[in-house]
Amino acid sequence: MSIESFHDNARRLLNNMLEETPKADREQLISAYAEALTQLYAAETHRLLTEVIEDARTRLDARLSPDPIRQTIASVQTTVQDFWQALWRD
C-alpha cells in the first residue's frame, strides 16, 4: 500500500459524495461513505500487513538457510528494522 493509493481512493469516494449530496439524504450519505472509507482503510492495511509478513518470512527463511551467504545478508537486514520501515514508509 502506498499513501498515494489510499489518498486517491479516498479522494474518489469523497468526490462521489460531494456530487451526490443534492440527490440524497445527507445523514445516509455520510454513513454510507464513512462505511466505504472504513472498508477501504481495512483492505489497504490488510494488504500492507500481508506484504510485511511475507517479507519477514522470506528474511527468516534466509536466516535459517544453511547457505552462509544468505545468512550474512539476512543478518545485515534485520527483520525488525524492515518491519518498522515498511509500516511507516510513504
Other CB atoms within 10 A of residue 4 CB = 9
The number of folded domains in the chain is 1
pLDDT tens digits, one per residue of 5-28: 778 888 888 888 778 766 777 778
* Concatenated DSSP letters of 22-60: GGS-HHHHHHHHHHHHHHHHHHHHHHHHHHHHHHHHHHH
pLDDT tens digits, one per residue of 74-88: 666 666 666 767 777
pLDDT of 1 strictly over 70: no
Distance CA 5, CA 51 (A): 15
Domain containing residue 31: 3-88
